[in-house]
Chains A and B, each alone.
Chain A
Amino acid sequence: MTTGRLPVRARAAVAATRAVNALSRRLGAGSGSVAGGHVGLALDPRLLERLAAGRRVALVSGTNGKTTTTRLLAVAVGGALGRAATNATGSNMPAGHVTALAGAPPGAPAVLEVDEGYLPHLVASLAPETVVLLNLSRDQLDRTNEVRMVAGKWRAALSEAQAPSTTVVANADDPIVAWAAQRAAHPVWVGAGLPWRQDAVGCPACEGRIAFAAGATGEEGGWRCTCGFARPRLDVRLDGDCVVTADGRRLDLALALPGRFNRANAVMATAAAVTAGVDWDDALRRIADVDEVAGRFAVVEVAGCAARVMLAKNPAGWGELLDLVCPGDRAVVVGINARLADGRDPSWLWDVPFERLRGRTVVATGERCRDLSVRLRYAEVPHRTVRDQVAAVRAAWMAARGPVDFVGNYTAFTDLLARTTRTGA
């Protein structure tokens, strides 16, 4: 029994959370990660605070990399602090958090991915020991979550007055994140890089213009505004395949996960683990073997064809994934939907440098394959358009006679994953 210390009402709410989630899993109605949480919160609106009480809590937020960083942080602290309670499937709003904690043993640390809009609320109600801030850029703009508005709310919630005991591990290479964390009582500044700067040139402090030095990550780079707002002095930084620690040690990042962005996620996660008392070497050793996160980067079988499946939700994420995909020679399948979870407006396709796919075998797919097809026409990328995603993977596989890379936005990715037949190595 793990709920003995909770009030009767909360105990009933926890039981209901678990029962509904189990039922939902059995009926195949969902992954059993939010339905129960909603029921639990309806029975006890303070259920999340009660379940978090007495735990060490770390929250992870940002536009890109939340799910991966949360997973890496949970794995990194798992040895020293014990198995962490975490919302591994990316259900990053309170119902998902309740579900994660309702199933966890008392005292287990909590590592929670948090939607950017919910972060201030959770910081206020859970008083987390650690908050990890990755980056902020344009995403699902028809929800009118303007980047600076979100950053302003973060800044207020994370100020020394509001969160005196919270350590904020912040990506100092993102000026918007640095501004959000500037007033924190205990900031840890990480140079994790920021290739997408289009949402960061306007200074959040004075509305002037941020100038980025070449490279702009690690010691040689940085950014500065004429008003004096500048990149804070780094405590930890990513340098190629290494992490450089505060005491000047260079440690190898030997990751099974591919790509620069995953090295950035890993540096943020390990820096957070270290502030929570985990040893650097221990943290890095533990995260090295993680090779897929909620299906991302896994090689799966789609109608008999092998495909590496990847998720990119916005221009910053697409830029990083094209860096990963473009050096190869595989056929590339790009899946685009525009449902509510993706944002209804696929205008952002014009912010993605699809020109880089020239010379590759490319198939456009998904519910908004027509929008993508027009984008590819103007990028002068010859392609086929196949609306059904499984048929598209098959068409690419037949054309290239080998494994394909599939990159989809949110619901395109989850739809394809739901239709895979087998997960391979």
Chain B
Amino acid sequence: MSALTVVVVHPDLLGTYGDGGNGVVLAQRARWRGIETELVDATSDLPLPTGDLYCLGGGEDAAQTASAERLREEGTLERAVGQGAVLLAVCAGYQIVGRSFPAADGRPLSGLGLLDVTTTKGRGRRAVGEILAEPLDEGLPVLTGFENHGGLTTRGPTTAPLARVTAGVGNGDGTEGARSGRVVGTYLHGPVLARNPGFADLLISWATGRVLHALDDAEEAALRKERIAAVRAGRAGGTVRYAPGPS
């Protein structure tokens, strides 16, 4: 048995934005440290396997609903998280692990309740574009990514946001993502861990309990520098903001 099992959940349903890349980044960064790692693509036609670190990605409305129903019926993910597994949920996946999220017609559907957040349909246009957010703990450097969603997400009183938005939309109230224990949700898709290797290492250290030595992240550093500069100079393009609702 491997020291670390990374499970990409339902890549056939929730893999719209290259989200499978998060699993690749986690597995490679663990392997490069000599941690024996298995990467499992867990398609929705088979029972969800047990693992140490789960990744959920983004998807279209119908696929998001199908994945949520399957996960709720099965209960494997909730059990794994209850037993200490780490979960990174991105975009549609972030909405699924909350208390409820909107169907294509806006009707609320039950999520898995692993994060105390509720998502409703945003008014106006989708939030599409580069996003920058300052993490609120763990000493991570600024998070850089791309968002593409139409949801407004509000947190319950005891759930902390992951970060504070400095460019882009995020949850819609100036915060981005949510965290509760070892469950993290974020609107940064794309895959977020490729642009934020420190975030990837944080998840690996939670899942393995190990202190990780630094890697030579020259390529990531060059990409981060370029994207952060482009957003700060207003050259990134494509950012569309909808009017945030009262929250």
Chain A interface residues (CB < 8 Å from chain B):
138, 141-142, 144, 146-148, 198, 201-202, 207, 209, 339-340, 344-345, 347-351, 370-371, 373-375, 377-378, 380, 385
Contact = CB atoms under 8 A, between A and B. Distances in A.
Interface in B11-26: 11-13, 15-21, 24-25
Contacts of A378: 21, 24-25, 28, 194
Interface residues of B, number: 40
B226 A345 contact: no
B148 A142 contact: yes
Given A141-B16, A202-B63, A350-B21, 6 more contacts: A202-B62, A344-B236, A349-B21, A370-B222, A374-B220, A378-B194
B35 interface: no
Nearest to B21: A350
B60 interface: yes
B60 A148 contact: yes
A175 to B, nearest CB: 13
Contact of B18 (A147, A201, A340, A348): A348
A359 B227 CA distance: 29
Contacts of A380: 28
Contacts of B237: 339-340, 344
A370 B219 contact: yes
A199 to B, nearest CB: 9
5 contacts: A142-B128, A344-B128, A345-B17, A347-B191, A350-B19
Nearest to B227: A370
Interface of B: 11-13, 15-21, 24-25, 28, 44-45, 60-63, 65-66, 126, 128-129, 146, 148, 189-191, 194-195, 219-220, 222-223, 226-227, 236-238
B146 to A, nearest CB: 5
Given A148-B60, A374-B220, A350 B18 contact: yes
Given A142-B238, A340-B237, A198 B12 contact: yes
A144 B45 contact: no
Contact of B189 (A148, A198, A340, A347): A347
B239 to A, nearest CB: 9
Nearest to B126: A144
A179 to B, nearest CB: 13
Contacts of A202: 12-13, 62-63, 66
A181 B12 CA distance: 24
A146 B15 CA distance: 13
A345 B24 contact: no
A150 B152 CA distance: 25
- Counting from the closest, the 3 A-B pairs by CB-CB distance are A350-B21, A350-B18, A344-B238
A373 B222 contact: yes
Nearest to B13: A202
Given A141-B16, A144-B148, A350 B238 contact: no
Contacts of A373: 219, 222-223
Contact of A209 (B28, B44, B146): B44
Contacts of B126: 144
Contact of A138 (B11, B16, B28, B146): B16
A350 B24 contact: yes
Contacts of A348: 17-18
Given A148-B62, A344-B238, A374 B219 contact: yes
Residue among A350, A370, A377 having the largest count of chain B Cβ atoms under 10 Å: A350
Contacts of A345: 17, 128, 146, 148, 190, 238
Contacts of A141: 16-17, 148
A170 B60 CA distance: 24
A347 B227 CA distance: 13
A405 to B, nearest CB: 23
Contacts of B44: 209
A347 B57 CA distance: 12
A70 B126 CA distance: 34
Contacts of B12: 198, 201-202, 209
B223 A371 contact: yes
Contacts of B62: 148, 202, 207
B223 A370 contact: yes
Nearest to B237: A344
A363 B240 CA distance: 33
Contacts of B45: 209
A146 B104 CA distance: 12
B238 A146 contact: no
A122 B128 CA distance: 29
A32 B199 CA distance: 49
A169 B198 CA distance: 51
Nearest to A345: B146
B61 to A, nearest CB: 8
Nearest to B63: A202
Contacts of B220: 374, 377
Nearest to B59: A202
Contacts of A371: 223
A146 B60 contact: yes
A371 B224 CA distance: 9
A83 B189 CA distance: 48
B104 to A, nearest CB: 10
Contacts of B191: 347, 350
A351 B20 contact: yes
Contacts of B129: 142, 344
A344 B223 CA distance: 15
B74 to A, nearest CB: 15
B194 A375 contact: yes
Nearest to A197: B12
B226 A370 contact: yes
A344 B238 CA distance: 6
Contacts of A148: 60, 62
